[in-house]
Amino acid sequence: MLIHSANLRIVSTQREFCAAQELEHTSATLAAMDASNDRLAEGREELRSHRGLFSGSRRLLRALFTSSVLDTVSLYGGLAVFFLVVAYILQVCASAAFCSSSLFHLALRLCMASS
């Protein structure tokens, strides 16, 4: 019976020790969670203070994108006008060369002679 009561005391002491360790672990976890909550609150406040900066940056990026699109459209429009002018000049030069050729004059005389 003496051994049995000694065993009960040892088991009781071990349970108390485990409970104390769990209590320490829980309090350390709660302290870490509290510190983490404070850091999250600081981060949230900092984010709120930068909200105006984010909206201004978004507005500037949108304007930059719009400008980029307009630049691209004007570049392609300019290239199209350039190629149309080149095609017109080539057409005029080709018809002028054809009109000044002796073959054109021969064809014109044949047309006039048949009418």
Q: What is the DSSP string of 20-75?
A: HHHHHHHHHHHHHHHHHHHHHHHHHHHHHHTHHHHHHHHHHHHHHHHHHHHHHHHH
For residue 105, the 8-state DSSP code is H
Q: Is the pLDDT of residue 79 over 80?
A: yes
> Which is more confidently placed, 9 or 60?
60
Q: At what angle do helices 51-99 and 102-114 cross, to 10 degrees?
A: 60
- pLDDT of 103 above 70: no
The per-residue pLDDT for range 25-47, each reduced to its tens digit, is 888 899 999 999 999 999 999 88
| Verdict on whether the full-model pTM lies above 0.95 | no
Question: Which tops the pLDDT comparison, 103 or 69?
Answer: 69
